Structure 1
Amino acid sequence: MSASLPLEHAASWYAASANAVPERPPLAGDVSCDVCVVGAGFTGISAALHLAEQGLKVMVLEAARVGYGASGRNGGQIVNSYSRDMDVIEERFGAQTARALGDMAFEGNRIIRERIAGYGIDCDLREGNLFAACNARQLKGLKEHKALWERYGNTSLELLEGDAYKREVSAEGYTGALVDHSGGHIHPLNLVLGEAAAFESLGGVIFEHSPLLSLEHGSPVVLKTAGGTLRADRVVMAGNAYLNGVLPELEGKSMPCGTQIITTEPLAEDVARSLLPNNMAVEDCNYLLDYYRLTRDNRLIFGGGVNYGGEDPSNIEALIRPKMLKAFPQLANVKIDYAWSGTFLMTLNRLPQFGVLNDNVYYAQGYSGHGVTCSHLAGRLISEVMTGRDGRFDAFAGLPHLPFPGGRMLRVPLSAVGAWYYQTRDKLGI
C-alpha cells in the first residue's frame, strides 16, 4: 500500500456520523503472528474475525484507518449474489461451478446479519432493496432474474410490474421493479468498525497508519513497514484497489474504478417518506447504474456513474446532482451536505479473484461493485481454507483471472468505449 495515501477517512456522511473508536497506533518494531492480514476493509476484517474465532493469532496492517477504502465509502446496500448473473456463470464455467457459487450466492448477506446480531454492532440495518427497470427490456430481465435466483434458493423476491413499483419509490420513469425482501442497507463504515472491535475483543491486533512497503515470500513471510517488521506463517492480501504495486502479478487482471456519492441535508420526515415509503434501498438496471437510499436522519444518499481508472472528478456534486434530480425533481432546492468518491476494483469477467501465491499468501479482490456481501463471504472462505476446509475457496480460485485487452495502458480507454456502447443500449431500450 502506498505511503502517499492520506491517513484519514474521506469527508463523507459516513465519516461524519461514525461511531467513536480509538485510533490504533502504527506497527513499531518486530512482531510475529500466525496470520497477517493486509487491509482493514470488509475482506480483511471479515477474514481476521473468522480466523480469530478459530483461535489463531492474527494481526492486521492498514495503511490508513479501518474502513478507509471502499468498505467505508460505498452505497451501503446489501445486494445479494455477484456482479455476474448465475446464468452467465453457468454458461461460461459449467453447471458444477455455477452450483458451487450459487450455493454461496446469498451467504454474505447472512454473515453480515450474523455479525450485527452476534456482536451487537450499531450500523443502522434496514430491510429490503429493489432493482428498478428503466425500460421493457430491463423489466423482462428482472422477470428472468427472479426465476434464476429462485432456482438457487432466494424465495424472498417480489416482482412489481408497471406503476406498482410506486409503492416503494416515487421516482418517475421506471417500468417496474424487483424487490428483494432479504436484502437491505447499512451504514457501511460503522459495520466495519464494529467488526474490527469484535476482532480486537478476541485478542486480534490492528496496526493503522502502517503502509506495506515490501513483502518477502518465504516461511515465514516477511512484511515491512516504515516502522517495523512483521513475520507471519500465512498472509491475507485484502487491499483490493489499494494495494498499489504490492502484487504486480495481479494488476493487469483488474482495474480500479471510481464511483461518486452525494448526500443531501436532512429532509423533513414527510418528504423522506414520500420518496421511499418503506425505506428500501434502490438501484436501477442500467449498465452504469444509479443507486440511492435514506439514512437514519432522513438524508438521501445518491450515487452513480463509474470513472475508469479511479481518478476523482473535479466536481462530484455537478456530476451526480442531475441524476438525483432526474429521479426526484422535487429536491431541486435541497442542499447537498456531502460529496465523495470511492474506488472499487473491477475484473474483466466481473467475478471476484481468489487465489494463493507460494502456498501461504492468500488473496481475495475484484468484487466489481458487489463487495459489501461478497467480501464477507470471502473472509469466511479464507478462514476455511486456512483451517483445512478448502473446497469452497477453490470454487472461486478455479475461475480464470482474465487480463484486460491492451493491458494496463489500454484498459481504461477500451473499458470506456464498452461502457459507452452499453449506455447507448440502455438509452435506446435495446
Structure 2
Amino acid sequence: MEARLPGDELEEREERGDGAEQAAELAEEDSRPTVSSSNHGMDRKVLLAARVRPMSERELAVKSEMCVRVDCDNGYLALMDPETREAKVFVLDHVYDSSAPPGRPDSQRGASYASNRSVFADLGKVCMQSLMGGYNAAVVLYGQEGTGRTHTMLGHEADPGLLPRLLEDMVDLAEVQDGKWAVRGSVYKIESERVLDLLSRDPTRKLTVRSNASATGSEVVGLTWKLLAGSEDCEELVNLVHRSCKLHSDAATLLCSLELCSRVYRPHPHPNRSSVEELKCLSKLHLVRLSRKSGAEDSAMMKALKVPQAVSVDKSVLAWSTVMSALAEKQLLMSQGRLADQSAPHVPFRSSLLTRVLEDSLGHQARVVVVATVSPSSSAYRESMHTFRHVVRSKEVKRMKTNPELLHTYSHIPEFIPSAGGGWRWAYSTRVTIDKEQSERLSPK
C-alpha cells in the first residue's frame, strides 16, 4: 500500500517532539549536578540518529549516484533502491547531512552541513544530562566499514568528536565539585566472544564477565581503569582509542567506558596510617563502535569457511538489536497499560558478552543514543539497508510523557510481517515510490 511522504504531514511533528526539546526537559528536571536515586523507568529514552558521509574518491570515480535523500529539519531519511527507484523512508530523532566534500570551507558547505560540533550539541548534551541525573548512558555507533563511525566518535583536532568533547565536559564537571568527584576511563574490545583489555600491559589476556552483586548488570573482572585528572590524561585516552581503531580489525567491537565517581575515604585497618581512598561509581557512559564487516557476500563466505570472527560479529549485532527490540516491546506494553495482563517480554541480555557488558546502560533507567552512519552512494544501498534493519528495531523505546498512544506516529499503522528468523516483527518504515516532485523535497540542499 502506497503511503504519503512524511513531508505532507509536517504539522504532526509537533505532536511527536524532537530530541532537543526532550533534552531541555531533562535539564529542567535536574539542573544541578546531583545524583538522584529516584526510579523513573518510563523516562528511559532512546535517540535514533543517522549521519550521511561524503562520497569517497572510489565512489566518485565509478560515478555512483546518490541514493540517500534527507530532510534534516524534520528527521526524515529516504533510501532509494537504484534498481526499482522505490524508497523506504525512516523517521529518526536526528538526521545529519555531512555529505559535502571534505576540504571545503564551512561557508561553501551549505547551511545543512553537520559537523561534529552539531552532533555533540544534540546527542552529547543529552548524555551529559543523563550522567548528571545519576543515570547511565550509552552511545552506539553502527554502520558499514568506512562510513564515519570513528570520525563521529573521535573527530580530528579542528573538529573533535563525541569522545573528546564528553571527556572535557565530564572532567570540568568533576573539577567543579572541589575534588569530591573523579572521572576514570577504560578501553577494551570484544572479539570472538572474548573481552580484551587495551589499557593492560598484556592486552591479549582474556577477561571474564560476571554479574555485579551490588548493582544491576554485569562487570568486567580485572579491567584496567585510568584516572582522568586533566586534559593530558584525556588526550592519552583518546589517542589510545584512535590507535585501537586503526590496529584492530573491524570484526571487533570497540568500547570506551567512562565513569563519573565520588571519592569515598575509608579508615585504614592500621590506626597509624591515613584513610584509604575509594572511587564509587555514580553513573557511567559507554561509547561503542559496533563491529561490522562490509560486504554480505564476504561475511557469508567467512561463515562457510567457519571463521570464528564472522560468527561472533553477527552474534553481537543480532544480540544487541534483539535486546533493543525486546525493550521496545516491553515499553510499548507498559505505555498501553497491558504489561500486567501478560508476562513481561524476556530481554535476552545474556545472549552475548556485548549485551551483558551493556546491560546497565541499555535497560532500566539508562539513556541510549544510536547513531547509524551510512554512505550516500547507490553502490552501498544494500549495506545501508542492512544498517537500518538493526537500528529501527529500537524505534519504540522512547520517552513518552504526554501521549503514549502516539508511539507509532509516522508509521502509518505498522503491520506485523514475517521475520527472516521466524515469527513476526513490526514493519517500522514506510515504503513509497519517489516521483520527481517528492524526490526534490527530500533532496539534500
Kindly name which structure, 1 or 2, has the bigger radius of gyration based on alpha carbons.
Answer: 2
| Fold shared by both chains (TM-score > 0.5) | no
Q: Shorter-chain TM-score: what band?
A: under 0.3
Q: TM-score, normalised by structure 2?
A: 0.25
